[in-house]
Each structure stands twice: as C-alpha cells, then as structure tokens.
Amino acid sequence: DAKTTQPTSMDCAEGRAANLPCNHSTISGNEYVYWYRQIHSQGPQYIIHGLKNNETNEMASLIITEDRKSSTLILPHATLRDTAVYYCIASSGYALNFGKGTSLLVTP
C-alpha cells in the first residue's frame, strides 16, 4: 500500500471548514483513499473513501486530485466533537495501515 503523508497537527475554529490534506504520491491505480478518525482512545471511525471521483457523505467531503497524488478531507462546519486524530490511508486490499495521522483541534 502507498505511503501517505499528513501534517502532524492542525487547528480549526468551531463552525469553520476544516481542510485536512494528505499526500499519496505513489498511489497505484487499484488503491482507494480512506479516511478514518480516532477520538481520544476510542476505536477508529470510518469517515469516507474514494478512488478517483470526489465523494460526499453526511460527515465530510473527499476531494482527490486528478493525478490522484493527493487528497483533502473537508469537514464543512467543524464542531468541538470533531477534535480527533484523522488518518488518511491508501489501500488496495484488506488491511488498513494507519500512519501517524493529523491531530485536529477544533477551538471555540
């Protein structure tokens, strides 16, 4: 699976959009981009995934560049409960190889 690179930490004001970038420049054609988050020491929670096209669900939007070398997770209106570690994962198969993720702090 391709290696992903994310900023270590980010801040966002409550109510604003949180844009979390991820670099996956070596991603191969059959690898999906997944985003999960982990709040404190709870089990990780699935957010969204995509292959080539931009995706949106009730939690977030995923924007994947045309060359698929990077992506951005967008939380449109961040709340304090969105404070968590966000993981971007490129995977073609079964296992999810979590990296260090981005620690997002949403402030009042």
Partner 1 sequence: DSGVTQTPKHLITATGQRVTLRCSPRSGDLSVYWYQQSLDQGLQFLIQYYNGEERAKGNILERFSAQQFPDLHSELNLSSLELGDSALYFCASSNYMTSGRNYEQFFGPGTRLTVL
Residues near partner 1 (CB under 8 A) are 32, 38, 41-46, 49, 87, 93-100
CB of 41 to partner 1, least distance (A): 6
CB of 105 to partner 1, least distance (A): 19
- Give the nearer residue to partner 1 in terms of CB position, either 20 or 85: 85
CA dihedral 75, 80, 85, 90 (to 10 degrees): -10
CB of 16 to partner 1, least distance (A): 27
* Nearest partner of 80 among 63, 98, 105, 60, judged by Cα: 105
CB of 85 to partner 1, least distance (A): 9
Structure tokens at 36: 């999960």
* Nearest partner of 60 among 30, 84, 43, 42, judged by Cα: 84
- Give the nearer residue to partner 1 in terms of CB position, either 17 or 39: 39
- Give the nearer residue to partner 1 in terms of CB position, either 7 or 99: 99
- Give the nearer residue to partner 1 in terms of CB position, either 13 or 39: 39
| Nearest-angstrom CA–CA distance, 15 and 26 | 34
| Nearest-angstrom CA–CA distance, 43 and 53 | 28
